[in-house]
Structure 1
Amino acid sequence: MINVLLINPPDYKMIQGAIPKELGSDRMGKYPPLGLLYIASYAQTRYPAILNINIVDAITDSLTHEEIHRIIEEFQPDIIGISVYTFTLIDSLQVARSAKKIIPHVPVVFGGFHPTIYPKETLLCSPDVDIVVAGEAEEAFSAVIGRILNMQSLEGLPGVSFKKLNGDIHIDKQTQFVTDLNALPFPDRRMVNYKHHSCILGATGLTTNILSSRGCPYRCRYCYVNIREYRVRSLDNIFAEIHNCLSLDINEFFFVDDLFNLSKRRVIGFSERVIDEGLDIRWSFRGRVDQIDDETLEKAKKAGCTRIHFGIESGVPKILKRVGKGTNLEMVRNTLSLTRQFGIEVSSSIMIGLPGESPRETDETIRFVLSLSTDYIQAAVFTPYPKTAFYEEGLRSSLLPNDYWSDFALHPVENFEPYIWGEFYTKDQLFDKLREIYRRFYLRPRFILSYVKHLTSLKAITKLAKNFQTFLSLITKRRIKD
Structure 2
Amino acid sequence: MLLIQPGFAEIYGSFRHLYKRGFLNPPLSLAYLAAALEQAGHHVDLIDAEAEALTLAQLAARAQAFAPQLIGYTATSVDYAQAVAAARRLKQTLPQVPAIIGGVHANLFGAQILAEEALFDYAARGDGEPLITALADALTAPDASLSARLAAIPGLIFRNADGAVTANPPGQATRDLDAYPHPARRLLKDALYIRAIPRQGYVVTASSMTSRGCPYGCVYCAIDALPEGRLTRFRSAANVLEELEEIVNGRGVTHVAFNDDCLTLKPERIFELCEGIHARGLKFTWEGLSRGDLVTPELLRAMRRAGMTRLSFGIESGDPQILATLNKGETLAHIEAGLRWAKEAGIVTRGSVIIGLPHETRASVRRTFRYITGLKTLDQVNINILQPYPGTEVARMTQRGVGGARLIAPEVADNPLAAGGQLRRFGSASVTVNDLTPKRLARLQKQGFFRFYLRPRAMWNNLKIAGWRVCLQDGVGLLRSLVGS
TM-score normalised per structure 2: 0.90
In the superposition, relative to structure 1, how do residues 113 and 12 fare at CA in structure 2: closer, same or farther (>3 Å)? same
Q: Quick check: 1:469 aligned with 2:480? A: no
In the superposition, relative to structure 1, how do residues 158 and 423 fare at CA in structure 2: closer, same or farther (>3 Å)? farther
Q: Following TM superposition, by how much is the alpha carbon of 1:412 offset from its aligned partner in structure 2, in angstroms?
A: 7.2
Alignment correspondent of 1:259: 262
Per-residue CA deviation, residues 121-173 of structure 1 (Å, 9 max, x unaligned), is 21123221110011221110111111111241211321110123432211235
Alignment correspondent of 1:199: 195
Alignment correspondent of 2:5: 8
In the superposition, relative to structure 1, how do residues 120 and 71 fare at CA in structure 2: closer, same or farther (>3 Å)? same
Letter in 2 for 1:264: P
Alignment partner for residue 236 of structure 2, among 227, 234, 237?
Answer: 234
Alignment correspondent of 1:96: 87
Aligned residues with identical type, % of pairs: 27
Q: Quick check: 1:36 aligned with 2:33? A: no
Per-residue CA deviation, residues 325-361 of structure 1 (Å, 9 max, x unaligned), is 1111222222212211221000000111111122211
2:80–2:417 CA contact under 8 A, matched in 1:
no
**Aligned counterparts of 2:219 and 2:19: Cα–Cα separation in 1:** 24
Alignment correspondent of 1:316: 319
2:379–2:462 CA contact under 8 A, matched in 1:
no
The correspondence of residues 48-447 of structure 1 with structure 2, limited to 5 A, is: 51-150=42-141, 151=144, 152-153=146-147, 154-174=150-170, 177-201=173-197, 203=200, 204-225=202-223, 226=226, 227=228, 228-246=230-248, 247-372=250-375, 373-397=377-401, 399-400=406-407, 403-405=410-412, 407-409=414-416, 419-447=430-458
Per-residue CA deviation, residues 374-418 of structure 1 (Å, 9 max, x unaligned), is 110001011211111121222234844775235531567856877
Q: Following TM superposition, by how much is the alpha carbon of 1:250 offset from its aligned partner in structure 2, in angstroms?
A: 1.1
Secondary structure, aligned partner of 2:96: coil
**Aligned counterparts of 1:22 and 1:411: Cα–Cα separation in 2:** 21
Secondary structure, aligned partner of 1:199: strand
Letter in 1 for 2:140: L
Secondary structure, aligned partner of 1:471: helix
Alignment correspondent of 1:452: 463
Letter in 1 for 2:157: S
In the superposition, relative to structure 1, how do residues 113 and 167 fare at CA in structure 2: closer, same or farther (>3 Å)? same
Secondary structure, aligned partner of 2:43: strand
In the superposition, relative to structure 1, how do residues 176 and 136 fare at CA in structure 2: closer, same or farther (>3 Å)? farther
1:28–1:199 CA contact under 8 A, matched in 2:
yes
Q: Following TM superposition, by how much is the alpha carbon of 1:12 offset from its aligned partner in structure 2, in angstroms?
A: 5.5
1:208–1:253 CA contact under 8 A, matched in 2:
yes
**Aligned counterparts of 1:23 and 1:413: Cα–Cα separation in 2:** 20
Secondary structure, aligned partner of 2:207: strand
Letter in 2 for 1:245: I
Secondary structure, aligned partner of 2:123: strand
Secondary structure, aligned partner of 1:258: coil
**Aligned counterparts of 1:27 and 1:309: Cα–Cα separation in 2:** 18
1:140–1:160 CA contact under 8 A, matched in 2:
yes
**Aligned counterparts of 1:179 and 1:329: Cα–Cα separation in 2:** 33
**Aligned counterparts of 1:170 and 1:353: Cα–Cα separation in 2:** 38
2:131–2:153 CA contact under 8 A, matched in 1:
yes
In the superposition, relative to structure 1, how do residues 416 and 271 fare at CA in structure 2: closer, same or farther (>3 Å)? closer
Q: Following TM superposition, by how much is the alpha carbon of 1:97 offset from its aligned partner in structure 2, in angstroms?
A: 1.3
**Aligned counterparts of 1:454 and 1:295: Cα–Cα separation in 2:** 23
1:420–1:427 CA contact under 8 A, matched in 2:
yes
Letter in 1 for 2:397: E
In the superposition, relative to structure 1, how do residues 308 and 161 fare at CA in structure 2: closer, same or farther (>3 Å)? same
Alignment partner for residue 16 of structure 2, among 10, 22, 31?
Answer: 22
Per-residue CA deviation, residues 241-284 of structure 1 (Å, 9 max, x unaligned), is 00011211012111100111113323222222222333222011
Letter in 2 for 1:92: A
Q: Which residues of structure 2 form unaligned runs of 5+?
A: none
**Aligned counterparts of 1:92 and 1:176: Cα–Cα separation in 2:** 28
**Aligned counterparts of 2:63 and 2:53: Cα–Cα separation in 1:** 16
Secondary structure, aligned partner of 1:101: helix
In the superposition, relative to structure 1, how do residues 400 and 427 fare at CA in structure 2: closer, same or farther (>3 Å)? closer
TM-score normalised per structure 1: 0.91
Name the structure where helix makes up a greater proportion of residues: 2
**Aligned counterparts of 1:126 and 1:446: Cα–Cα separation in 2:** 52
Q: Following TM superposition, by how much is the alpha carbon of 1:197 offset from its aligned partner in structure 2, in angstroms?
A: 1.5
Aligned length: 465
**Aligned counterparts of 1:421 and 1:263: Cα–Cα separation in 2:** 38
Root mean square deviation of aligned Cα: 2.2
In the superposition, relative to structure 1, how do residues 67 and 8 fare at CA in structure 2: closer, same or farther (>3 Å)? same
Letter in 1 for 2:11: M
**Aligned counterparts of 2:153 and 2:12: Cα–Cα separation in 1:** 32
**Aligned counterparts of 2:136 and 2:109: Cα–Cα separation in 1:** 22
Q: Which stretch shows the higher mean deviation, 425-434 or 115-124?
A: 115-124
2:288–2:311 CA contact under 8 A, matched in 1:
yes
In the superposition, relative to structure 1, how do residues 411 and 309 fare at CA in structure 2: closer, same or farther (>3 Å)? closer
